[in-house]
Structure 1
Amino acid sequence: MRHFVNLQTDLIRTFVTVVDLGNYTETGQVLGRTQPAISLQIKRLEDLVGAKLLHHKGKVLELTPQGHALIGYAREMLRLNDRAVANLHEAQFMGTLRVGLPTDYAIGYFQRIIADFARANPEVTFDIRCDWSRNILSQLHVDELDLAIAITDTMPAPYVSLYWSERPFWVCGRDYQFSLDKPVQIIAHPKGCFYRKRMIDALNTEGREWRICFESPGITAVQNAVLDGMGVTALTKKTLLPGMRVLSPKEGFPPLANLHVGLFYKHIKASDAALKLIEQITEGVSAFRKPTHARS
């Protein structure tokens, strides 16, 4: 007969809070417990799962591989617990939500989810910031945002609740003409962009010459430059427009490495409204991608 291990919510909450805050003392202050009590709860959780979850590297508290494997599940367990309690208590969703969205990934799609949420919850005020993923994550880390959608090269990453991969495609205007004997004319976001890096890495691996012919931080400008036939770029399905065509390896454009996209938030900072919006974003992502909860 299978032996079931039940992970207690209070232990899971302590674990996630320690990970988010980075120390036992502040966790104790937030959860109303002493530092020794927090240490004991972490030890009890480690005994339940049969593995070390956290270790100190100097003064920095880090997740072990087993801790990385558990943290995503732990965040999801708390999210479901707190949403269930909020629904049973008929919580009113109000306050201000600060949301970060990446300028170069499916921004219109996530704006529509937020707009639908705003119409259904008029007591919630939004502060939406569209920026580079690295800037969005920096703002989340210093508590200037409540939740964020962002692209990163490293998964799992701090505060990620779920993540998924996207394969970018080489695209050009429908009537664009190019020659394999000439440098590839690249339309790109400025340095630091994940799409840009993938295009350049792929061409360098193939020994192809290239040059940046058009550069803009905005997705709309990049899309318009493609439609105007100024060169080629990398886009995902959500940012392809009518009048564009996808270029294949047979045409001399090698496959591009996947992008890693995540939904990020700090559980200890999440209000009922934030958790409800996170739930709707999760459902929306599931409609077009198969998300991975951050487990390793």
Structure 2
Amino acid sequence: MASRFTNLQTDLLRTFVTVVDLRNFTETGAALGRTQPAISLQIKRLEKMTETKLLSYKGKKIELTQDGQTLLGYAREILRLNDRAAASLKRARLSGTLRIGLPIDYSIEYFQHIIAQFTQANPQMLIDVQCDRSRDLLTSLHTDNLDMVIAITDMMPAPHVSLYWAERPVWACGRDYRIDPDRPIKLIAHPEGCFYRKRMLDSLNIEGREWHIAFESPGISALQHAVLDGLGVTALTKKTLLPGMRTLHPKEGFPKLANIHVGLFYKHIKMSDAALNLIEQITIGVDAFQKTTRASLRV
């Protein structure tokens, strides 16, 4: 009697994930110590095992099929658990340098706390944290100037994403701020290219509301203080609302804003034991983080 279980071999999954990350069979072979034909054969073996097409090819360009995209998330998780288990059994000493990117256009205090705890538990690790706009962080990841990144993107699933979640921004202003219906809405926003900014402008333009950018800054702290100082209204996640702020609702002329998508991004082939350890802690944290997020999305 044939088994109803299909055991996905980790070496095949590792090859698959590395091809997706590097988008090149030759580079994957070099990274894994195999020839390009061997990499191609492993992908074919995995496709035969899963009875589906995982990759498509347009000239030299490698793309994921829909089934490939489905497998990719599971494959990253299987490899992360496999490699963390192996490192734990070997009691690997965590050392080296880990370069982390955190977004200035999102609530990062939660993740800073996780990173701080990790640093205290592993004092031999050198942690370099870079705070920047999400799109610039993702560029740095693609060019290997960062090892892992938490960032906002409109593309989900996206290249190198390990896990992701959605949050709905809310309109916010100072507690005593009053909206003048006969004047353009004064907006407090990140510079052009920000996802919050786009959602605010799209929402107001659909409603035919006039607006004016009254305050602009790349940092979320500056926007928060501008709101408290009564310079206008902005879009924030519920976790970044501060005492002294109030939310604005559709009955006041501020329609619901579209979700933003936040992800944890990394290239598995380049991850050290230390990086995988931290990724595990962030993953656990995000699970708790999402419980409150899911509740807010149902509102």
Is TM (by shorter chain) over 0.5?
yes
Q: Which amino acid aligns with 2:175?
A: R
Deviation at 1:231, TM superposition (A): 0.5
Mapped to 1, the partners of 2:176 and 2:234 lie a distance apart of 15
Equivalences for residues 176-195 of structure 1 within 5 A: 176-195=177-196
Measured against aligned partners, the alpha-carbon deviations of 1:41-71 in whole angstroms (never above 9, x if no partner) come to 1001001111111121121111111111111
Mapped to 2, the partners of 1:116 and 1:31 lie a distance apart of 32
Mapped to 1, the partners of 2:122 and 2:196 lie a distance apart of 35
Q: Secondary structure at the match of 2:188?
A: strand
Instruction: Provide the residue aligned with 1:227 in structure 2.
Output: 228
Q: Which amino acid aligns with 1:281?
A: I
Instruction: Provide the residue aligned with 1:149 in structure 2.
Output: 150
Q: Which amino acid aligns with 1:157?
A: A
Aligned structure 1 segments of 4 or more residues deviating by more than 4 angstroms: none
Instruction: Provide the residue aligned with 1:46 in structure 2.
Output: 47
Q: Secondary structure at the match of 1:186?
A: strand
Deviation at 1:181, TM superposition (A): 2.2
Equivalences for residues 262-273 of structure 1 within 5 A: 262-273=263-274
Larger RCO (CA under 8 A, 6+ residues apart): 1
Instruction: Between 75-84 and 64-73, report the one with greater CA deviation.
Output: 64-73
Instruction: Provide the residue aligned with 1:98 in structure 2.
Output: 99
Whether 1:278 aligns to 2:279 is yes
Identity of aligned residues (%): 70
Q: Which amino acid aligns with 1:97?
A: L
Instruction: Provide the residue aligned with 1:78 in structure 2.
Output: 79
Instruction: Provide the residue aligned with 2:170 in structure 1.
Output: 169
Q: Which amino acid aligns with 2:141?
A: L
Mapped to 2, the partners of 1:57 and 1:240 lie a distance apart of 46
Instruction: Provide the residue aligned with 1:36 in structure 2.
Output: 37
Measured against aligned partners, the alpha-carbon deviations of 1:72-122 in whole angstroms (never above 9, x if no partner) come to 111111000000111111011111110000001111111111111100110
Q: Secondary structure at the match of 1:156?
A: coil
Mapped to 2, the partners of 1:176 and 1:284 lie a distance apart of 35
The number of residue pairs the alignment matches comes to 292
Mapped to 2, the partners of 1:22 and 1:266 lie a distance apart of 11
Q: Secondary structure at the match of 2:97?
A: strand
Unaligned runs of 5+ in 2: 295-299
Mapped to 2, the partners of 1:212 and 1:124 lie a distance apart of 43
Instruction: Provide the residue aligned with 2:141 in structure 1.
Output: 140
How does the TM-score come out when normalised to structure 2?
Answer: 0.95
Instruction: Provide the residue aligned with 1:58 in structure 2.
Output: 59
Mapped to 1, the partners of 2:273 and 2:75 lie a distance apart of 18
Mapped to 1, the partners of 2:228 and 2:269 lie a distance apart of 45
Q: Secondary structure at the match of 1:182?
A: coil
Whether 1:241 aligns to 2:234 is no
How does the TM-score come out when normalised to structure 1?
Answer: 0.96
Instruction: Provide the residue aligned with 2:121 in structure 1.
Output: 120
Q: Which amino acid aligns with 1:176?
A: Y
Q: Secondary structure at the match of 1:171?
A: strand
Instruction: Provide the residue aligned with 1:213 in structure 2.
Output: 214
Deviation at 1:180, TM superposition (A): 2.0
Mapped to 1, the partners of 2:226 and 2:3 lie a distance apart of 60
Q: Secondary structure at the match of 2:6?
A: coil
Q: Secondary structure at the match of 2:129?
A: strand
Instruction: Provide the residue aligned with 2:10 in structure 1.
Output: 9
Q: Which amino acid aligns with 1:249?
A: P
Q: Secondary structure at the match of 1:254?
A: coil
Mapped to 2, the partners of 1:104 and 1:55 lie a distance apart of 35
Deviation at 1:254, TM superposition (A): 0.6
Q: Secondary structure at the match of 1:289?
A: helix
Instruction: Provide the residue aligned with 1:260 in structure 2.
Output: 261
Unaligned runs of 5+ in 1: none
Instruction: Provide the residue aligned with 2:23 in structure 1.
Output: 22
Q: What is the root-mean-square deviation in Å for CA atoms of aligned residues?
A: 1.4
